């Protein structure tokens, strides 16, 4: 029996006028993305984005119901199912990637949730990178006024700073500094100044690279090292409560306890945990396990082929809205330290590993 | 779906992820699945005791969450456990509750 093939789904999001369609046009010009299908969400009466896009043929579906986040989860699901069905019947080319361009006002979470939770889609598609465009000219003002803008940045796997040729260097640098505070681990491109590497933006995601230690190392080098760069929170900002922090802890982690803790945290505070990602030294797992979540949505845990570096500690990065870092750390420590003996349920060989508590230790927040 | 009870199978929760290449899960074979369920009940019971709740296995497919007075909820996975607990209790179950943290830290000593 052949292994199932999961089509990666990328989301391109970003505030109104931030250059999502331009970015999409540039990316689709790359021959490497010739087998990409595109879903576009229009907002308002005229599907302007549709008319701007040139190189999209019969694998494009234009969603008609306005804002993607609040009205058409069902329609989004139906559109993707329809594309999948047509692909299986051979009426559209066999696309191997799907890109969704959302409206500027969309909260990205429901879109991601639709792809992962839909009972049909989850067997055929998987989430890939989320790319967020940020307008270098208006970004600061949008961040100050629109909470959606901050959420779009927080959930990004990749950030693309657009219109940098129109903005002053000082203005752009201030925005970059601001972005690094909200989402320190997302690599950033300045679209006007550099060639965009479609592969790096779209296809180099955690799931695709987990089996290759070198690629995984690069992924984590970016994701985890940058996490420590979470700057002190600026209390004068509108987004003052959104900040990132990293936790690391020694010793093997009891997978069950971790799942219990994270599911409890997300049930109560899912709206405030904008991102959680990291790598866990799971007892008995042999190789590290990567965790990646957006609000209440946690991707299937990835069993990596090898550690990305010599560090064997478990490391977690949080981007949160108003949660106290010390309390999160202490809570996790209390849960991980409460492992009951495993012997009643399992082989005795597991008992020592599971009973050992993982002492939490934080990395410094810069 | 179980034809007797109407419980839908195929949980989509990440702690019960379907086994496939590259995915970490303990949902691979029946023995491992049962081991994990038993351990999950033992772990959850430590936390649920703080709220006066108990968790038990039900047909190796779901869990029964009960209060001391006998109110029960059937929960499929960890994604539903805490929502069900809050429903039974009528108050939030917050892992960042300092009193809960102190209780767990005390039980670890």
Domain ranges, ordered by start, for chain B: 26-108
pLDDT tens digits, A82-134: 888 988 898 888 888 888 888 776 777 878 888 877 778 888 898 888 999 99
Instruction: State the smallest CA–CA distance between residue A58 and chain B in angstroms.
Output: 31
Host H or E run for residue A146: none
B54 φ/ψ angles, rounded to the nearest 5 degrees: -125, 150
Q: Do A260 and B78 touch (CB under 8 A)?
A: yes
Distance of CA A33 to the CA centre of its chain: 20
Q: Is the ipTM of this complex over 0.95?
A: no
pTM over 0.80: no
Closest-approach residue (CA) in chain B for A121? B12
Q: Is the CB of A271 inside 8 Å of chain B's CB atoms?
A: no
Mutate to test the interface with B, among A125, A207, A260 (most CBs of B within 10 A): A260
Instruction: State the smallest CA–CA distance between residue A207 and chain B in angstroms.
Output: 7
Q: Is the pLDDT of residue A264 over 90?
A: yes
Residue of higher predicted confidence among A28 and A59: A28
How large is the average pLDDT for residues A145-163? 86
DSSP assignment of A328-360:
HHHHHHHHHTTPPPSTTTS-GGGHHHHHS---E
Q: What is the pLDDT of residue A61?
A: 52
Q: Do B44 and A267 touch (CB under 8 A)?
A: no
pLDDT tens digits, A188-219: 888 877 777 787 788 777 766 665 555 556 55
Highest-confidence segment of A45-54, A187-196, A211-220, B6-15: A187-196
How large is the average pLDDT for residues A321-347? 75
- Domains of chain A are 7-204 (3.40.50.300), 214-362 (3.30.1220.10)
Instruction: State the smallest CA–CA distance between residue B4 and chain A in angstroms.
Output: 22
- C-alpha neighbours within 13 Å on the C-beta side of residue B6: 1
pLDDT tens digits, B44-76: 999 999 999 999 999 888 899 999 999 999 998
**Which chain B residues have a beta carbon less than 8 Å from that of A330?**
101
Nearest to A339 by CA among B56, B54, B40, B100: B40
Percent of chain B with pLDDT over 70: 88
Q: Do B12 and A119 touch (CB under 8 A)?
A: yes
Task: Determine which of A302-306, B70-74, B82-86 has the lowest per-residue pLDDT on average.
Answer: A302-306
> Which of A116, A260, A334 is closest, CB to CB, to B43?
A260
**Which chain B residues have a beta carbon less than 8 Å from that of A338?**
43, 46-47, 104, 107-108
> Which of B15, B22, B104 is closest, CB to CB, to A207?
B22
DSSP label of A231: P
Residue of higher predicted confidence among B107 and A231: B107
CB of A295 within 8 A of CB of A276?
A: no
Residue of higher predicted confidence among A327 and A76: A327
Q: What is the pLDDT of residue B78?
A: 86
Q: Is the CB of A307 inside 8 Å of chain B's CB atoms?
A: no
**Which chain B residues have a beta carbon less than 8 Å from that of A323?**
96
């Amino acid at each position: 029996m052949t292994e199932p093939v999961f089509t990666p789904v990328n989301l391109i999001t970003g505030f109104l006028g931030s250059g999502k369609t331009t970015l999409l046009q540039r990316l689709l010009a790359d021959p490497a993305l010739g087998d990409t299908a595109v879903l576009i969400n229009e907002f308002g009466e005229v599907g302007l984005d549709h008319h701007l896009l040139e190189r999209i043929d019969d694998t494009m579906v234009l969603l008609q119901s306005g804002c993607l986040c609040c009205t058409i989860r069902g329609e989004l699901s139906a559109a993707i199912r329809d594309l999948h069905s047509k692909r299986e019947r051979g009426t559209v080319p066999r696309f191997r990637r799907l890109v969704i361009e959302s409206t500027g006002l969309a909260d990205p979470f429901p879109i991601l949730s639709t792809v992962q939770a839909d009972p049909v889609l989850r067997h055929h598609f998987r989430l890939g990178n989320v790319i967020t465009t940020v307008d270098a000219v208006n970004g600061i003002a949008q961040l100050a006024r629109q909470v959606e803008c901050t959420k779009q940045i927080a959930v990004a796997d990749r950030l693309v700073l657009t219109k940098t040729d129109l903005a002053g260097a000082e203005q752009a640098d201030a925005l970059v500094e601001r972005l690094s505070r909200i989402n320190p681990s997302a690599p950033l491109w300045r679209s006007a100044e550099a060639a965009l590497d479609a592969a790096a933006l779209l296809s180099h995601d955690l799931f695709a690279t987990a089996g290759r230690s070198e690629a995984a190392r690069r992924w984590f080098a970016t994701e985890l090292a940058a996490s420590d760069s979470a700057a002190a929170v600026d209390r004068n900002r509108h987004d003052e409560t959104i900040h990132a922090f990293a936790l690391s802890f020694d010793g093997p982690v009891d997978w069950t306890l971790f799942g219990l803790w994270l599911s409890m945290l997300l049930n109560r505070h899912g709206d405030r945990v904008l991102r959680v990602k990291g790598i866990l030294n799971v007892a008995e797992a042999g190789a590290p396990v990567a965790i990646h979540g957006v609000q209440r949505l946690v991707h299937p845990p990835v069993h990596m082929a090898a550690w990305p570096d010599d560090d064997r500690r478990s490391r977690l990065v949080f981007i949160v809205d108003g949660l106290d870092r010390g309390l999160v750390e202490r809570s996790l420590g209390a849960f991980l330290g409460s492992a009951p003996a495993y012997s009643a349920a399992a082989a005795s060989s597991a008992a020592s590993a599971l009973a050992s508590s993982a002492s939490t230790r934080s990395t410094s927040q810069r | 779906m179980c034809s007797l009870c109407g419980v839908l199978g195929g949980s989509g929760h990440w702690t019960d992820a379907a086994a496939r290449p590259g995915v970490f899960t303990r949902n691979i074979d029946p023995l491992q699945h049962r081991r994990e369920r038993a351990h999950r009940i033992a772990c959850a019971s430590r936390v649920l005791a703080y709220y006066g709740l108990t968790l038990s296995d039900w047909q190796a497919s779901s869990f029964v969450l009960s209060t001391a007075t006998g109110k029960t909820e059937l929960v499929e996975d960890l994604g539903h456990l805490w929502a069900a607990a809050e429903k039974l209790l009528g108050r939030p179950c917050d892992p960042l509750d300092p009193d809960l943290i102190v209780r767990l830290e005390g039980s670890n000593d």
